[in-house]
Structure 1
């Protein structure tokens, strides 16, 4: 049986019969843990005539070890050796070498996104503060990774796969889970993330603004749900929006009087069987009578004035202003945070010229 020996990564080269010929370069996701922990899983090599070792299993790990050692002195890290199976029995047996390399790569399957999140959460929770910092650096995650991993697991498997494929990091996946109950958050956030990537600036301004809008919409929906629940608890029917083509008998109390001509208010109308309410754009109750004629109310006399196209435009403009004000308030915090980060930077960074866009 081949024995595990420790080899200098500088002596490792890619075996010419390594079955993996594409995507052979290690990415930062692999290099980061190797810098902190070394190569945990032994690689497989065979001796070459020039004194080097040909790697036919684990070439990406070997390159990650070389990259880690290259910057070890500068970063104050130890230079590490690599554990390896030295297969002298494969010298001159190129076909077997390629076959074993093929089996290694062809049968390897990545962990599911949910298993990865669960493992991150449990591993980081069960560590000391010092070990947690080292592990977080190895995983390329922040100090709140355990909390983010727990939050992200609320998403279903399909959403987790799409989030990972779209490039969301752990914190962003957790934020997606936070606003999952809002309409269409996944596509909106993926588009924002794509815009951030296209700018090539390394920032997340589009993401932060979209998250702020989603949180504002979530807060707005919560406020409406609370207003509806308050009416329900009080036993007051909530009138649904009525299409323009439907004849609606209900009327606001401000447009009604009693049979004797006295004003109707929430207090003196409360015992009427038709006592009900609608919620306005700010989720405040507009008190109504569901059927004034049936309950002997009179409509306040006023000159007949049919609803005009101008009235419709004014109502639409009001809705637009409310939506814009909500978006403006939501965007204020991300912009303030961006300026705060900018003034704290030691050097001023500007966007690449190719990514600058003219805005109106």
Structure 2
């Protein structure tokens, strides 16, 4: 073999001293003969002739072509010289050759092999037809072997390599640029590279890059890491959902912490979820100032400020005006009886009667009421957990839709689905059409569509989806149509969908599952109608959580803040006496809160 940079006369004692195995001298015998090993040469890639190849799609992705353009063809292309005209024919390296041509390289390294399958077969067989068949079989076997028996670098190995590059002073942008790796992937690899724990777990359990990146995101939370690792190993399709729930919980804790710091700065006693004083504390929304005050007299926060037991715990809730979650205090009294307060309503109020079994003793009545209260509390907690889980699932679902809409082709059966849904003309689809389907434009990355004017008329700019359709091919137009329909049904979902789904929502969620979307547990309720099932609840779900919401607008009247849960568990029933018939109870804001059963109707109305 001919070499342009190797001098066979170099002596071994001319080499640098090493502490390892001695390097053998390079001799003519080791180099071999060009007639045996072939000739290493430069060649213009545009002059190379492509042999028939088992690979029908070279898959010249932009990153591969950019790498070839920047760094050249590092591994020589195997060629042989055609006897008829002397042309160089590619045996191995079709993809590298095409990428070099596309990148405009003037020359590439080639290894000109001395023998070809046809030459070998002609020497072994006298029958030309048989020799041709053998040569063709050898070509196919070689090409299959080259591509099938090739192990790509693992995600953990790639992360380790990027970790070394970071250690050598390269930035994530430089790594993406020089290795021609998608920026999103490098952001993930470098995030994992900075987390020794995530890399260790990923290497140990052979996790993929996405899974390791999620674990790296929560590397400072031992419980979260354990949960995510278990999910990645046992229910990998649920990892995105669990990670989003953890993100939302973390964001809620941060909101609560900010409000708690403000309260402490102003001198207010703040009760955390593990504060023992919650055992005897009560929400002032369940109290009246004194026993002498008429029942139903509110104990306001301002009036309670001078009470020695004045305190607060913090909850989160959805705020429709801000279109997001906020944290707010739930005002408490640490020792309501000691400080002279009384229950907002006495259960023994004269004239109030409740339906009870005939012959029921006082002890039996008390036990029944306790069971009913506990069942109501559990139902409220189920609703709260599933409502929050639905919020998290919505983020994951819409991210999945965004990715779906970037694909070149719509999923199988998309045209049939679109035609059927247009023919049905359900309310969600009609409403979206009449309001210019802003969510569809957003999920497609086309910007928000301007709203219609008076009486539904629109005289503004052309709808961005209509503009995109005007320059689309048939495949893209099908995807745009699918986006219009799916976004309409997505926009029609709400927090009540998991327990009272419409037929359209059932069809929508079912179709997403058939196209590869992994349903969360709460989304599964939409299509299984298992309304008694409970979404995976936050950690320590049995412990009252000060970050759980207590707003009727958010939860359909469901309340379960730490303070109120403590009040429910530790004090006499402070519910208004006639709530046995009306199904209402005092809320943290001094109004009324519906039970979980009535909440379904109120929340459905709130969600349109």
Q: What is the aligned partner in structure 2 of residue 236 from structure 1?
A: 268
8 Å CA contact 2:162–2:189 kept in 1: the answer is: yes
Check if 1:319 corresponds to 2:381. Answer: yes
Q: 1:294 to 1:76 in 2, by over 3 A?
A: same
| Equivalences for residues 129-208 of structure 1 within 5 A | 132-137=176-181, 142-144=182-184, 147-155=187-195, 157-170=196-209, 172-182=211-221, 184-194=223-233, 206-208=238-240
8 Å CA contact 1:113–1:161 kept in 2: the answer is: no
Q: Distance in 1 between matches of 2:251 and 2:33?
A: 58
Q: Distance in 2 between matches of 1:159 and 1:124?
A: 21
8 Å CA contact 1:253–1:288 kept in 2: the answer is: yes
Which of 393, 396, 405 is residue 331 of structure 1 equivalent to?
A: 393
Residue 276 of structure 1 aligns to a residue whose secondary structure is: strand
Structure 1, residues 109-133: CA drift from partner, whole Å, max 9, x if none?
xx9998644323356845987x843
Indicate the RMSD between aligned Cα atoms, in angstroms: 4.8
Q: Distance in 1 between matches of 2:173 and 2:329?
A: 53
Residue 173 of structure 1 aligns to a residue whose secondary structure is: helix
Q: Distance in 2 between matches of 1:310 and 1:151?
A: 50
Q: Distance in 1 between matches of 2:72 and 2:205?
A: 29
Q: 1:259 to 1:324 in 2, by over 3 A?
A: closer
Residue 286 of structure 1 aligns to a residue whose secondary structure is: strand
Q: What is the aligned partner in structure 2 of residue 103 from structure 1?
A: none
The ranges of structure 1 where at least 4 consecutive aligned residues each deviate by more than 6 angstroms after the TM superposition are 3-8, 38-41, 111-114, 355-359
8 Å CA contact 1:256–1:298 kept in 2: the answer is: yes
Check if 1:252 corresponds to 2:283. Answer: yes
Q: Distance in 1 between matches of 2:33 and 2:168?
A: 29
Q: Distance in 1 between matches of 2:173 and 2:280?
A: 67
| Equivalences for residues 81-120 of structure 1 within 5 A | 116-120=161-165
Q: 1:317 to 1:79 in 2, by over 3 A?
A: farther
TM-score by length of 2: 0.36
Residue 377 of structure 2 aligns to a residue whose secondary structure is: helix
Residue 295 of structure 1 aligns to a residue whose secondary structure is: coil
Q: 1:298 to 1:158 in 2, by over 3 A?
A: closer
Which of 406, 419, 431 is residue 344 of structure 1 equivalent to?
A: 406
8 Å CA contact 1:151–1:177 kept in 2: the answer is: yes
Q: What is the aligned partner in structure 2 of residue 288 from structure 1?
A: 332
Q: Can you give the 5+ residue segments of structure 1 that lack an aligned partner in the other structure?
A: 13-31, 42-65, 83-110, 198-204
Q: 1:151 to 1:346 in 2, by over 3 A?
A: closer
Q: Distance in 1 between matches of 2:249 and 2:192?
A: 20
Q: 1:182 to 1:242 in 2, by over 3 A?
A: closer
1:188: Cα distance to partner? 4.0
1:67: Cα distance to partner? 10
1:276: Cα distance to partner? 0.9
Q: 1:209 to 1:280 in 2, by over 3 A?
A: closer
Structure 1, residues 283-330: CA drift from partner, whole Å, max 9, x if none?
542212212333333444512495521111111111111111111111
8 Å CA contact 1:125–1:146 kept in 2: the answer is: no
Q: Distance in 1 between matches of 2:346 and 2:100?
A: 84
Q: 1:171 to 1:187 in 2, by over 3 A?
A: same
Structure 1, residues 225-268: CA drift from partner, whole Å, max 9, x if none?
33333332222223355899x99443322313147637421111
Q: 1:126 to 1:211 in 2, by over 3 A?
A: closer
Structure 1, residues 26-84: CA drift from partner, whole Å, max 9, x if none?
xxxxxx89x8558989xxxxxxxxxxxxxxxxxxxxxxxx99824212333675469xx
Q: Distance in 1 between matches of 2:172 and 2:403?
A: 31
Residue 332 of structure 2 aligns to a residue whose secondary structure is: strand
Residue 312 of structure 2 aligns to a residue whose secondary structure is: strand
Structure 1, residues 177-197: CA drift from partner, whole Å, max 9, x if none?
223355643344445545787
Q: Distance in 2 between matches of 1:220 and 1:327?
A: 13
**Number of paired residues?**
271
1:339: Cα distance to partner? 2.5
Rg larger for: 2
Structure 1, residues 77-119: CA drift from partner, whole Å, max 9, x if none?
675469xxxxxxxxxxxxxxxxxxxxxxxxxxxx999864432
1:150: Cα distance to partner? 4.5
Q: What is the aligned partner in structure 2 of residue 213 from structure 1?
A: 245
Q: 1:297 to 1:314 in 2, by over 3 A?
A: closer
Q: 1:334 to 1:124 in 2, by over 3 A?
A: farther
1:153: Cα distance to partner? 4.4
